[in-house]
Structure 1
Amino acid sequence: MGFLDHFAEVCSDATEDVARMTKRKRRPMQVVEIKVKMDCDGCERRVKNAVSDIKGVKSVDVSRKESRVTVTGNVDPDKVLKKVLSTGKKAEFWPYVRYNLVSYPYAPQAYDKKAPTGFVRNVVQAFPSPRSAPLERYSSLFSDENPHACSIM
């Protein structure tokens, strides 16, 4: 085996490595919001530094007043949550949505006194749908067989 054969083999291995690296899927750009209880500047700094070290993070916004950390970048939400939990703080994914996005914000499950101003809990609204209600025909409302027809008229 000559020098040229060896050189061709090395070059083909390098091109295969490059092709393998480019085929790797990148995570999509996303925004991860986490609720973290922070009391002081030290807590805020510790959480921000821990999250900033994750590969793929573009920006970190910490709001101590809302107890909220917003991470933007090509990251896995579960990794971000684990990293925040590793600082020793209680953390969970942001459970709130804007007040105006919910059909009935003062439902017992949605209303939360601890929610920041303008936010309510993100819960599925448990109200009966119009399909599940019994259908009442308009013609039966005013018939002689309906005992409550007199009260309607």
Structure 2
Amino acid sequence: MGVVDHVSNMLNCSSGHSKHKKHKKLQTVEIKIKIDCEGCERKVRRSVEGMKGVTSIDISPKLNKLKVTGYVDSEKVVARVAHRTGKKAELWPYVPYDEVDHPYARGVYDNKAPAGYVRYGSEAQASHLGRASSIEVRYSTAFSDENPTACAIM
């Protein structure tokens, strides 16, 4: 991970072909899992505690969210939590609504999301927003006060 490891890997002459270990990066995995009571919370915590590479565990029962930090693979953490608890587990699909351009667009807004969060959506879903057609634009600008050549019926 550091300079000493890098130098020791370079000077390793143990065999003709050296196998380099793939070091996992420190990452935070957020998982959505239903947590009803303290027993469920304990079961979720114990499912992840013994995992190699886990450095910290944070559980938010009100948000039904498990946050695992460490040198782990996200897919393996989700699979282990689902297997050990017997509950449906998935990666956290929500982002704070401040980070989304159109939080109430179709496909982004979700009634099941916790307060202050919307479902993570790509920019492709923002294209479904209503846009004015050229005919609507002509009619709306024909009676505009800002247009000097507009109709002056009044």
Unpaired stretches in structure 2, ≥5 consecutive residues: 1-11, 135-140, 142-148
Query: How big is the alpha-carbon RMSD for the aligned residues of Structure 1 and Structure 2?
Result: 2.7
User: Which of 113, 120, 123 is equivalent to 2:121?
Assistant: 123
Structure 1 residues without counterparts, runs of 5 or longer: 1-13, 136-140, 142-148
Separation (CA, whole Å) in 2 of partners of 1:113 and 1:99:
13
Alignment partner, residue 28 of structure 2:
31
Give the 4+ runs in structure 1 shifted more than 3 A.
149-152
How many residue pairs are counted as aligned between the two chains? 123
1:76 equivalenced with 2:76 (yes/no) = no
Q: Which of 90, 109, 118 is the equivalent residue of 2:107?
A: 109
**1:91 partner letter:** A
Instruction: Give the residue type in structure 2 aligned to 1:127.
Output: A
Aligned to 2:88: 90
Whole-Å separation in 2 of the counterparts to 1:81 and 1:151: 64
Larger Rg over CA atoms? 1
Aligned CA distance change for structure 1 residues 41 and 20 (closer, same or farther; 3 Å): farther
Matched ranges for 1:50-61 at <5 A:
50-61=47-58
TM-score (norm 1): 0.70
Q: What SS is found at the alignment partner of 2:39?
A: helix
TM-aligned CA deviation for residue 124 of structure 1: 1.5
Seen in structure 2, the aligned counterparts of structure 1 residues 20 and 58 have a Cα distance that, compared at 3 Å, is farther
How many percent identity over aligned positions?
A: 44
Look up the SS of the partner of 2:63 in the other structure.
Answer: coil
- Give the residue type in structure 1 aligned to 2:55: K
- Partners of 1:47 and 1:20 in 2: CA distance: 39
User: Which of the residues 62, 66, 69 maps onto 1:65?
Assistant: 62
